[in-house]
Structures are given as C-alpha cells and as structure tokens.
Amino acid sequence: MMKIRKLFSVFIVLAFLSPVASHAAKSTEELPNIPWGFQKVFSTYDRPALQRGFQVYKEVCAGCHGLDKVAYRNLSGLGYNPDEIKAIAAEYTVIDGPNDEGEMFERAAVPADRFVSPFPNDNAARASNGGALPPDLSLIIKARTNGPNYLFGLLTGYAEEAPAGEELLDGQYWNKYFPGHKISMAPPLSDGLITYSDGTEATVEMATRDVVEFLAWASEPTMEARKQMGVKVLLFLFFLSVLLYIVKRRVWRDVH
Amino acid sequence: MSGNTEKGQFDNKVVSWVDERLPIFTMLSKEYGVFPTPKNFNYFWNFGAIAMAMLSIMILTGIFLAMNYTAHADEAFNSVERITRDVNYGWLLRYLHMNGASFFFIAVYIHIGRGLFYGSYKGPRELLWIFGVLIFLLMMGTAFMGYTLPWSQMSGWGATVITNLFSAIPIVGDSIHTLLIGGFTVDNPTLNRFFALHYLLPFVIVAVVFLHVWALHVTGSNNPLGIEPKSKKDTLPFHPYYTSKDVFGLSVFLLFYLWVVFFHPLALSHADHFKPFDSMVTPEHIVPEWYFLPFYAILKSFTADLVIPFTGIILVEAKLLGVLAMFGSIGLLFVLPWLDSSPVRSATFRPIYKICLFLLLISMLVLGYTGSQPAEGWVVVAAQITTAYYFIHFLVILPLLGKIERTKPLPKSINESVLAKKEGK
Ligand code: HEM
C-alpha cells in the first residue's frame, strides 16, 4: 500500500505542477472570482440563463461580433424546440447560390446554417468600428486565460474616464481588465438595456453573467455530454480497478 | 497454455496447425507466458506496459481524428473545431488525443526515472536503453509536430520558434530551416509536411518499441535490487503474475488520465491555443507544452556568447550554445551507460548517487517551472544553476562517483531479499 501511495504522489506532482506554472496570471488587475455553476465538476449549464444570455448576445453583441462556429440547430442545447429554432433562423438572411441561372441569391437562414456574422469580412468590421476588429465570440471563453471571469471583468470593468495622465483617443474607453486598458469597444451594456422575456431584471451584472454563460456554452456545447459520459466511465473504471486489484492479490497470494 | 515452450504442443487444433507453420503461439507463450521475470518488481515496473497502452491509444484516436481533419492553413483550425462540435464523439477523440500525449509523457518520464534510479541502463542493457532514448526523441518530434496541426496561435508560433533554432547552426542552418518549414516562413507547406510526418513517426516509434522489447527479452528485466536473477526461485512466469499486475496498474493509470479527459480536458492547455494562427500577431508569451519545458529552459539559459577573453571574438553565439545544450542534454542520455562508472545498478545501495539523483529531479522540476516563465531576473539565474547541475551530474558526478562511493552490501539473491523482507514484517 505504501508503494502505491508513493507512486500516486509522484504522479500528482508531475501532472499538476506544470499547468499551475504556465497559467500564472499576466494581468496586473486581479480578476473577479465568480463561482460559475458550469465550472463545477458535475454541473450542467443553467437553461434559463443560457436563453437570457442568448437574448443579450442577439440583441446587443451580435451587432458587432459574429459567432460563426455555432449553427442555429445547436440552439436545441438551450432548450428551444425545432419550431422556435426555425423561427429564430428565419430572422436572418444568408447569401446562397449560384442558382440554375448562375446568380447568387438571398434566402432566409435555416437551422443548418451557422450564425450569420454582422459584417461580410474583417475589413468591413474594422471600418465600422474605428479600425478595431470585434473578434468572433465562438471560442472567446477558451481563448482568454480564466475566460469566464475575464469576460465578466471586461464587461463590468469600464471606468467613467481614464486616470489622470492617460490620453484616450476618440472611440477609446478605459477598461480595468483589458490588456493595455484602452479598448475600442464602448460599454455594450447598461441597466435595463434589455427587457428579458422571462421577466428577470436585466441589470448590467445579470446580463453579463447570462451572456458569459451563453458564450461558455458556445465555446463548448458538448460539455454536458462529456461530463455525463465521464461519470459512467470513471465509475466503471473504478470498480474494474478494484476487481483487478482483488484478482492480482489472489494470483500473488502464494508468492507474498 | 502457459506451460508450453516446445513447438506444437497446443490442445486447440487450429492453434497447432498455425503454430507448426508459423510458431507465433510458441513465441507468445515464450515471451509473454512463461517468460521468467524477477519476482520483486515494484509498481514502477508498470510504466513500460502503460507507455505501450498510451502509444496504442494515441495511434487509434489519431487515425480517427485524421479522417476528419483538413491539413490546410485556411481550414485546419476550423476543421478541428468542427471535429469537437459536429463529429460524433469528436470531442472525445480530440480530448483523448490531446491529453493522451501528456499522459504518454508522464508514463515515459516515470519509466525513464525508474531506469535512472535502478540503473537499468547498465550492461548488458545498454542497447535496450539506447532504443528507449530513441523512442523518447521520436516522441518529442511527434508531439511537437502534432501540436502545430490545429494551426492555432500557439501552434504556429511554437513551430516558428522551434524551427528557427535550426538556423543557428553555422553554414547549413538556413538551408535546414528552409527544408523543415518548406519556405521562408511557417505557412501551409509547413503544416502539410508536419501532418505527413506526424502520421508517420508514431509507426516508426512502434518499430523501435519492437526492438526495445526484443532487446529486453534477450537480457531480461532489471529489478529494484539491480542484481541478476540466479535461480528459478528468483523469478516468476510473466503470466499470470505480471499480466495481472500490469492490467491493474494500467486501470489505475487510466483512471487518472480519463479523469482529466472528462473533467479537466483543458487543464494542460493554453488560451492562445484557441486563437487561429496569425503570422502578423505575436503572442505575448510563447511557451511549449509542459513536457518540453525543462529542455526549453536549458535552451533559454544561455544568455551570453562564448568569446575568446580580451579579444571580443565570438566563438559560439549564445543562441547556438543554447541549441547545442538542449540537444546535448538528451544526447547525453545515449552515452549514459558509459558515463556511469559504478558497477552497482540500484540506487538503493548507492547512498550518494541517490542524493545526486534527487537533486537531478529537483533540477528538472525547477527547469520545468523556469521554462514556463518569461526569461528575466531570478528565473534566468535559477535556470542557469539547474542547467549547470544537469550537465555536472552526467559529465562529472557519474564518472567519478563510481570510483569513490562506498556502496552498501548487495543481497545474495533476489529470493533471499524477498524472504528477509517478509520476515521483517
Ligand atoms: C514509447 C515509449 C516506450 C514504450 C512503449 C516502452 C515499453 C517498454 C516495456 C513494455 C518494457 C518492459 C516493462 C517494463 O520494464 O516496464 C520496457 C522496458 C525498458 N524501457 Fe521502455 N518503453 C518506452 C520508452 C522508453 C524510454 C524513453 C526509455 C529510456 C530512455 C526506456 C527504457 C527502458 C529500459 C531501460 C527498460 C528495461 C527496464 C528494466 O527491466 O529495468 N523505455 N519498455
């Protein structure tokens, strides 16, 4: 038993020393530390929060940010039924073709289409945003260290004006958490900007929490399937290990 | 069937028929049935079999990933995302493969550490050891090229930094660099050749593992006492004793591995690995995967050129020194059997060697940490001290220590030691 325990400790040291080392924080500002439900080991996404977060994305962020890795059909993961999804998709137009005459044409989006981006290309997006590119948000949670907390900080961390001695260019805003602090995104949210269809009060904090939950889902829609399978696999493997240990003991009985 | 070593003594007619024509069952029974194995292995001897299982998992998941992957600079990042989102169980394939590389390295590092501690590299197992180091090198190459395939910021910039090292080589450096990346910058040709090689190298590893295990079955295994088995009393048939132990060990290892795969699949990855590669935007901090960090730190710890004193003539540039040291640190392992002058294998009986080896472990951990940090201030100094120790350990301590160390008396036989331990309980 001692040996096994020794072995395990070697293991844990090796496996967990490195990520701690490489994930050392780089921002000067301490990020908020919110106990996100979906980050708990066995937890799922919160469906009502996902739907509210989708509403925030759709009514606010989608004006500037695409979500091009997510398809409308994926919205079933938020709890929408096929008819609702069809209706949501139909609000957008996509360019399709060429048709039999060789012409490109516009049609309403269908559930199989990916989210329609607000701008046809990066240059158009830059042109409308004073030269700054609003990144696609499909993977934003994974593409930032401590993604959910960073996003929460970013969206709630605007200051009224820059600290003394700092110059902001036209169209720049002071943000506590953005690297370099000068961000070209105006504070996108304000209290009561959104009227939630489920009646929840849309404070900035609430809307931010919801949109972060939604974007976490968008970056990994398969999280729930993963955790569900994980529980089964690990339980199975645990009992298998116990059985194999008993077998090993019996085989070795005459040697020990 | 485990009692058979003579040809053709199998109860099953089909088995006999095949065996008379191609004695594959005889071979299996000899090498994995009755194969005499020291009876005193501890659990560190599980990691060879575990490494073998990880290699199989990597090849299997890799082939299925390749079925859905597009090796083109414009498509690679999206195709990997599509695998995790739209391919059935694609997320599982990717997470198994991604974390599988880490756990493969964990297993192999423990496996190598076992060899260092118990002196498994010493005669007559030198060639067995050399095949092992070769496997390790091939694994590093494979993992490095695999990491470029998702074509993320870390992929592209990691490839840029590492391939750039080769241009430090005098005269031929630039040509090697161009050949490696298929042009002057890391671009689509780089991705295509890395994909081809990433698919090829694991099968080369399989071939070297075959040689490695073949050599093992000629010399037989070492053991925690480091003395050769003398009689039948010292060994056990591989089956059922070590098959049952290996399977149990593997199961526990998989428990750790799959825990990470299912519940912390991104614990070992970096945010910049989820941004598509952009050759115009350099990430703030380019770091390799954790299993390369100690060697990366050795590379970075050479901060000054080698000059002829008082003349200012540069003999070797710092960058080249770093590159030489990094490859040298692994190259040393190839000649380790001839560096260590002690006739005693196991560190159990070598009190001073044990301490030196412990310092080497600490050095590797410190190097691993410093490798992950920006090279400034005390980090550089710590990396330099531990790099120095790494080379002193292999080049100075090991050749001398064997001559001066008072080793503890070796037991007469494996069996005697096992019995003595049992009575002590
Ligand atoms: C793909 C990676 C590898 C695989 C699949 C592999 C497989 C194995 C297996 C199955 C054994 C027999 C069981 C055991 O003793 O644990 C073994 C023994 C051994 N391996 Fe490896 N190995 C790998 C890498 C390495 C490396 C990188 C080294 C050293 C640099 C190494 C050094 C040795 C030595 C010295 C032995 C004999 C050990 C003894 O009996 O004490 N192996 N290997």
* pLDDT score recorded for residue B8: 54
* The two structure tokens encoding residue B167: 């241009």
What values do phi and psi take at A20, rounded to 5?
-60, -45
Going through B137-277 in order, the beta strands assigned E by DSSP cover 235-237
* pLDDT score recorded for residue B334: 98
Q: From atom 19 of ligand 1, which residue's Cα is the shortest distance away?
A: B48
* pLDDT score recorded for residue A18: 40
* The two structure tokens encoding residue B90: 């694609």
List the single range of B186-190, B280-284, B342-346 with lowest mean pLDDT. Answer: B280-284
Summarize pLDDT for B192-226 with one digit per residue, the tens: 999 999 999 999 999 999 999 999 999 999 999 99
Judged against a pLDDT cut of 60, whether residue B395 lies above it is answered with yes
Please provide the distance, in angstroms rounded to a whole number, between the alpha carbons at the two ends of chain B. 35
Measured in Å, residue B218 CA sits from the centre of ligand 1 at 14
Measured in Å, residue B58 CA sits from the centre of ligand 1 at 17
Ligand 1 pocket check for B40: Cβ under 6 Å: no
B267 reaches A (C-beta below 8 A): yes
Q: Give DSSP secondary structure letters for B280-311.
A: T---S-----GGGHHHHHHHHT--S-EEETTT
* pLDDT score recorded for residue B2: 44
Judged against a pLDDT cut of 70, whether residue B182 lies above it is answered with yes
* The two structure tokens encoding residue B66: 């390749």
Q: What is the helix, strand, coil percentage profile of chain B, to 5?
A: 70, 5, 30
Measured between beta carbons, the chain A residues lying within 8 angstroms of B241 are 251-252, 255
Judged against a pLDDT cut of 80, whether residue B346 lies above it is answered with yes
Contact B91 A225 (CB under 8 A): yes
A20 reaches B (C-beta below 8 A): no
CB proximity under 8 Å: A 176-215 to B: 179
Contact A26 B285 (CB under 8 A): yes
Ligand 1 pocket check for B211: Cβ under 6 Å: no
CATH tag for A46-70+114-221 (out of 3.30.70.600, 3.40.50.2020, 1.10.760.10, 3.10.129.10): 1.10.760.10
A11: nearest CB among B95, B244, B256: B256
Ligand 1 pocket check for B90: Cβ under 6 Å: no
Measured between beta carbons, the chain A residues lying within 8 angstroms of B96 are none
Number of other CB atoms surrounding residue B289 within 10 Å: 24
Rounded Cα distance between B235 and A111, Å, is: 66
Measured in Å, residue B51 CA sits from the centre of ligand 1 at 8
Maximum separation of any 2 CA atoms in chain A, in Å: 84
* pLDDT score recorded for residue A29: 76
* pLDDT score recorded for residue B6: 54
Mean pLDDT of B315-339: 95
Measured between beta carbons, the chain B residues lying within 8 angstroms of A237 are 251, 254-255, 258
Q: How far is CA A160 from the centre of its chain?
A: 27
Per-position pLDDT tens, chain A of length 256: 344 444 444 444 444 444 444 444 344 678 999 999 999 999 999 999 999 999 999 999 999 999 999 999 999 999 999 999 999 999 999 999 999 999 999 999 999 999 999 999 999 999 999 999 999 999 999 999 999 999 999 999 999 888 999 999 999 999 999 999 999 999 999 999 999 999 999 999 999 999 999 999 999 999 999 999 999 999 999 999 999 999 999 999 988 6
Q: Is B79 designated active site?
A: no
Ligand 1 pocket check for B133: Cβ under 6 Å: yes
Measured in Å, residue B131 CA sits from the centre of ligand 1 at 9
Rounded Cα distance between B350 and B409, Å, is: 10
**Where in chain A are the domains?**
46-70+114-221, 226-256
Q: Is B174 designated active site?
A: no
* pLDDT score recorded for residue A117: 96
Q: How far is CA B56 from the centre of its chain?
A: 15
Q: Which residue has the higher pLDDT, B43 or B6?
A: B43
Judged against a pLDDT cut of 60, whether residue B126 lies above it is answered with yes
Q: From atom 26 of ligand 1, which residue's Cα is the shortest distance away?
A: B132
Contact B262 A234 (CB under 8 A): yes
CB proximity under 8 Å: B 40-99 to A: 42-44, 78, 81, 84-85, 91-92, 95
A234: nearest CB among B84, B255, B285: B255
Q: Which residue has the higher pLDDT, B23 or B4?
A: B23
Rounded to a whole number of angstroms, the distance from the CA of B277 to the nearest CA of chain A is 12
Judged against a pLDDT cut of 90, whether residue B38 lies above it is answered with yes
Domains of chain B listed by start with CATH number: 38-422 (1.20.810.10)
A144 reaches B (C-beta below 8 A): yes
* pLDDT score recorded for residue B305: 84
CB pairs under 8 A between A and B: 125
Contact B290 A19 (CB under 8 A): yes
Q: Is B289 designated active site?
A: yes
ipTM beyond cut 0.90: yes
* pLDDT score recorded for residue A15: 46
B116 reaches A (C-beta below 8 A): no
Judged against a pLDDT cut of 80, whether residue B317 lies above it is answered with yes
Rounded Cα distance between A233 and A121, Å, is: 44
> Is B133 within 8 Å of B212 (Cβ atoms)?
no
> Is B254 within 8 Å of A237 (Cβ atoms)?
yes
Catalytic pick among B111, B289, B301, B346:
B289
